[in-house]
Structure 1
Amino acid sequence: MEEDKKNRRVVLDIHDRPKPLQWFGLSLQHLFAMFGSTVLVPILVGINPGIALISSGIGTLVYMLVTQAKIPAYLGSSFAFIVAMQVLMKSDGYPAIAQGSIAVGLVYLIVALLIRRIGSSWIDRVLPPIVVGPVVMVIGLSLAGNAAKDAMMNSGHYDLKFFVVALVTLALTIAFNMFTKGFLSLIPILLGIVGGYIVAVLFGIVNFTPVLNAHWFAMPAFEIPFVSYKPKFYLGAILGMAPIAFVTMTEHMGHVMVLDKLTNRNFFKDPGLHRTLSGDGLASIIAGFIGGPPVTSYGENIGVLAITRVHSVFVLGGAAVLAIIFGFIGKISALIMSIPSPVIGGISFLLFGVIAANGLRILIDNRVNFDEKRNLMIASTILVIGIGGAYLQLGNFQLTGVALATILGILLNLILPKQALNEVEDNDDESTR
Structure 2
Amino acid sequence: METKGNNAIYDLHDRPPLFTWLGLSLQHLFSMFGATVLVPLLVGLNPGVALFTSGIGTLLHLLITHGKVPAYMGSSFAFIIPMASLLKTIGYPAVAQGIIAVGIVYLVVALIITYTGTGWIDKIFPAEVVGPIIMVIGLSLAGAAASSATTINGKYDWKVFVVALLTLLATIAFNMFLKGFLGLLPVLLGIIFGYIIAIPFGLVDLSPVAQAQWFQLPNFETFIGSDGFKFYPSAVLTMAPLALVTLSEHLGHLMILSKITGHDFFENPGLQRTLSGDGTASVVAGLVGGPAVTSYGENIGVMQLSRVYSVWVIGGAAFFAVIFSFVGKLSALISTIPGAVTGGVGFMLYGVIAAAGLQVIVDNKVDYSKKRNLMIAAPIMVIGIGNFHLQLGAQIDFSGVAIATVLGIVLSLVLPKVAASEKEL
Question: Per the shorter chain, which TM-score range?
Answer: over 0.9
Which aligned segments of 4 or more residues in structure 1 are displaced greater than 6 angstroms?
none
Structure 2: gaps (5+ residues): none
Please say if residues 7 and 13 of structure 1, whose CA atoms lie closer than 8 Å, have aligned partners that are also in contact: no
Please say if residues 60 and 73 of structure 1, whose CA atoms lie closer than 8 Å, have aligned partners that are also in contact: yes
Matches within 5 A, 1:160-171: 160-171=158-169
Q: Cα deviations across residues 104-146 of structure 1 (Å, max 9, x unaligned)? A: 0000000000011000001001000000000000000000000
What is the aligned counterpart of 1:274 among 272, 275, 288? 272
Amino acid at match of 1:385: I
SS at match of 1:76: strand
1:389 aligned residue = 387
Count of residues paired in the alignment: 421
Matches within 5 A, 1:142-181: 142-181=140-179
Matches within 5 A, 1:20-419: 20-225=18-223, 230-395=228-393, 396-419=395-418
SS at match of 1:296: strand
Amino acid at match of 1:328: F
1:231 CA drift (Å):
2.6
Provide the C-alpha distance between the structure 2 equivalents of 1:278 and 1:398, rounded to a whole number of angstroms. 24
Please say if residues 48 and 326 of structure 2, whose CA atoms lie closer than 8 Å, have aligned partners that are also in contact: yes
> More displaced, 396-405 or 103-112?
396-405
Give the root-mean-square deviation of aligned CA atoms: 1.0
Please say if residues 368 and 374 of structure 2, whose CA atoms lie closer than 8 Å, have aligned partners that are also in contact: yes
Please say if residues 213 and 328 of structure 2, whose CA atoms lie closer than 8 Å, have aligned partners that are also in contact: yes
TM-score (norm 1): 0.96
1:40 CA drift (Å):
0.3
TM-score (norm 2): 0.98
* 2:7 aligned with 1:12: no
Provide the C-alpha distance between the structure 2 equivalents of 1:216 and 1:106, rounded to a whole number of angstroms. 36
Provide the C-alpha distance between the structure 2 equivalents of 1:104 and 1:43, rounded to a whole number of angstroms. 21
Structure 1 residues 317 and 423: CA distance shift in structure 2, 3 A: same
Q: Cα deviations across residues 18-51 of structure 1 (Å, max 9, x unaligned)? A: 1110111100000000000000000000000000
Q: Cα deviations across residues 81-116 of structure 1 (Å, max 9, x unaligned)? A: 001101101111111010000000000000000011
Please say if residues 224 and 230 of structure 2, whose CA atoms lie closer than 8 Å, have aligned partners that are also in contact: no
SS at match of 1:398: strand
Please say if residues 223 and 286 of structure 2, whose CA atoms lie closer than 8 Å, have aligned partners that are also in contact: no
Percent same amino acid among aligned pairs? 60
1:154 CA drift (Å):
1.4
Provide the C-alpha distance between the structure 2 equivalents of 1:291 and 1:248, rounded to a whole number of angstroms. 20
1:422 aligned residue = 421
Structure 1 residues 47 and 372: CA distance shift in structure 2, 3 A: same
